[in-house]
Amino acid sequence: MSERTTAQWQAADAAHFLHPFTDFQLLAAKGTRVITRADNIHLWDSEGKKILDAMSGLWCVNVGYAQQALIDAATAQLTQLPFYNAFFQTATPPAIELAELLAEVTPPQFEHVFFCNSGSEGNDTVVRMVRRYWDLLGQPARKLIISRNNAYHGSTMAGASLSGMSGMHAQGGLPIPDITHIEQPYWYELGRPLGLSRDDFGRLAASWLEDKILAVGPERVAAFIGEPIQGAGGVIIPPATYWPAVQAICERYGILLVSDEVICGFGRTGQWWGSETFGTRPDLMTFAKGVTSGYIPLGGVMVGERVARVLIERGGEFNHGYTYSGHPVACAVALANIRLIRRERLVERVREDTGPYLATQFASLKEHPLVGDAETCGLMGAVLLVMDKHAGTPFAAELGVGMLCRGHCFGNGLIMRAVGDRMIIAPPLVITRAQIDDMMALIHRCLDLTWADVRAADGG
Ligand SMILES: *Cc1c(COP(=O)(O)O)cnc(C)c1O
């Protein structure tokens, strides 16, 4: 890469680079932040500023940056065989080995995988696959897929349709037909005002699925899809009663259950899969992000035997696939990544050590005058900033308190994401207790600075 000053990078960026989910004009005026290198849980920008990455890149760099095993795996595979496809009744050793290893680290109902390059493509594949499944079973009317408001399932046409983001649906004529949404299991916003306990609210939120199934007619419903914990929606951790009730409803109506594990998979919640943490038995699981710790793009769908047997034994040719389905370099990196997760016992570490430690630290955030709620699951966490913590009154959205806080985070060398006024984290699974202490000190400082701003605005 050429050597340039930050201003030169920013000028070229503004002139040519349209960023994802970005107001192009606003960013061009402000100037992008240029990240130039990384190690373990830290990033450095083009000004030499060191930043603690409490978001693992974008929920993906689970083993941290600069892991030599992943770099070596990519280099060796690039040298040996940089590409060959899986279309021509051909395969490469890394793809075969990864398929085998995924069957091993996923719950027992999974023996097969379909490879893609991203979570969005994985969910597009899910839509194609569940509709094909019901066609093959002679129930072609079962086309409808039920998802949830404020879900995130990607940004391709099907991914964005499954997502429950009104801003996305407003652009490009979405959702596509036969995708519908129910309300999310967000206790603070929907259960607390009703005076419901978390557990009672969990059962109520699950009952909305049954209401929807009955409203549209069970014979039309193909599948229900959900993230075990909604990530991009703001780390919405459902009550413990929610998922088992959803599972029971899916079983009652014979509907396929799809767990979008793009964030929760590979140890984020303290188990290999979010579905294990929440006690469901999905028929399909989408994965991406953590499968390679983001070192190279890869995604896919774990296909449970219920669906796989029908596709294999009755399906004939499945008319779907990508040039890079099973890309050997991506699969080699995934193999090295999963072996590293096992060798370092990262899932156990999250479950038994760093996850519980983070939970205690987050509990203390609830004392802060700005904080209405603070919760974690494994190494995902959210802090909700509110105007009146006792009444639970939110700030007016125009105030942009979350973005204000995010600005302080950047300024103080911490990456925390703002989803409205929910400040969220998902640090690398390699984070140590001492590093959690560093992160918490930064979080406290940024909350104090935000509180000072809010009070100054009040006084003025
Ligand atoms: C990020 C994400 C996706 C989309 O993955 P891409 O690789 O960005 O296409 C899908 N589902 C969930 C839950 C995600 O967090």
Task: Give the DSSP per-residue string, 219-236.
Answer: GGEEEEEE-SSBSTTT-B
458 pLDDT exceeds 90?
no
Backbone dihedral angles phi then psi of residue 270, each to the nearest 5 degrees = 100, -5
2 pLDDT exceeds 60?
yes
- Average pLDDT score over the chain: 97
Give DSSP secondary structure letters for 408-452. Answer: HHHHTTEE-EEETTEEEE---TT--HHHHHHHHHHHHHHHHHHHH
DSSP state of 18: -
459 pLDDT exceeds 80?
no
Ligand 1 centroid to Cα of residue 289, in Å, is: 7
**Is the minimum distance from the CB of 227 to ligand 1 under 6 angstroms?**
yes
Cβ count within 10 A of residue 77: 24
Q: What are the tens digits of pLDDT across the range 138-147?
A: 999 999 999 9
* Alpha carbons 405 and 453: distance in angstroms, whole number: 9
Mean pLDDT of 375-385: 98
* Alpha carbons 390 and 192: distance in angstroms, whole number: 12
Sheet holding 256-260, edge to edge: 110-116, 299-304, 284-287, 256-260, 221-226, 144-148, 179-182
Contact 174, 160 (CB under 8 A): yes
* Residue in this structure with the two tokens 């105030």, named with its chain if needed: 399
Ligand 1 centroid to Cα of residue 154, in Å, is: 5
Ligand 1 centroid to Cα of residue 431, in Å, is: 23
Q: Which residues contact residue 125 at a Cβ distance below 8 angstroms, ignoring those fewer than 6 apart?
A: 114, 116, 286, 300, 301, 320
**Is the minimum distance from the CB of 119 to ligand 1 under 6 angstroms?**
yes
Q: Which residues pair with residue 42 across a beta bridge?
A: 39, 52
* Alpha carbons 216 and 213: distance in angstroms, whole number: 6
List, in order of start, the domains of the chain with CATH numbers. 33-63+345-457 (3.90.1150.10), 69-343 (3.40.640.10)
The residue whose CB lies within 8 Å of the most ligand 1 atoms, and thus the one to mutate among 121, 262, 273, is 262
Contact 152, 227 (CB under 8 A): yes
Protein residue closest via CA to atom 10 of ligand 1 = 153
pTM of the model: 0.98
Q: What are the tens digits of pLDDT across the range 191-209?
A: 999 999 999 999 999 999 9
Angle between helices 433-459 and 401-411 (to 10 degrees): 130
* Alpha carbons 231 and 224: distance in angstroms, whole number: 17
The residue whose CB lies within 8 Å of the most ligand 1 atoms, and thus the one to mutate among 162, 263, 291, is 263
Mean pLDDT of 296-321: 97
Largest CA distance in the chain: 71
**DSSP 3-state assignment of 322?**
coil
277: its two tokens: 């943490």
Q: What are the tens digits of pLDDT across the range 14-69?
A: 999 999 999 999 999 999 999 999 999 999 999 999 999 999 999 999 999 999 99
Q: What are the tens digits of pLDDT across the range 77-93?
A: 999 999 999 999 999 99
**H-type helices in 87-175, by residue range?**
93-105, 119-136, 157-162, 166-169
Closest CA to 113 of 126, 129, 102: 102
- Per the rule left: phi > 0, alpha: psi between -120 and 50, beta: everything else, 180 is beta
229 pLDDT exceeds 60?
yes
Q: What are the tens digits of pLDDT across the range 126-137?
A: 999 999 999 999
**Is the minimum distance from the CB of 153 to ligand 1 under 6 angstroms?**
yes
294 pLDDT exceeds 90?
yes
Mean pLDDT of 176-185: 98
**DSSP 3-state assignment of 302?**
strand
Q: pLDDT band for 460, please (50, 70, 90 cuts).
A: low
**Is the minimum distance from the CB of 226 to ligand 1 under 6 angstroms?**
no
Please list the helix, strand and coil fractions of the chain in percent, rounded to the nearest 5, in that order: 45, 15, 35
Q: What are the tens digits of pLDDT across the range 239-264?
A: 999 999 999 999 999 999 999 999 99
* Alpha carbons 258 and 425: distance in angstroms, whole number: 25
What pLDDT score does 5 carry?
97
**Is the minimum distance from the CB of 274 to ligand 1 under 6 angstroms?**
no
DSSP state of 317: -
Ligand 1 centroid to Cα of residue 392, in Å, is: 31
Label each residue of 281-299 as H, E or C: CCCEEEECHHHCCCCCCCE
Contact 385, 421 (CB under 8 A): yes
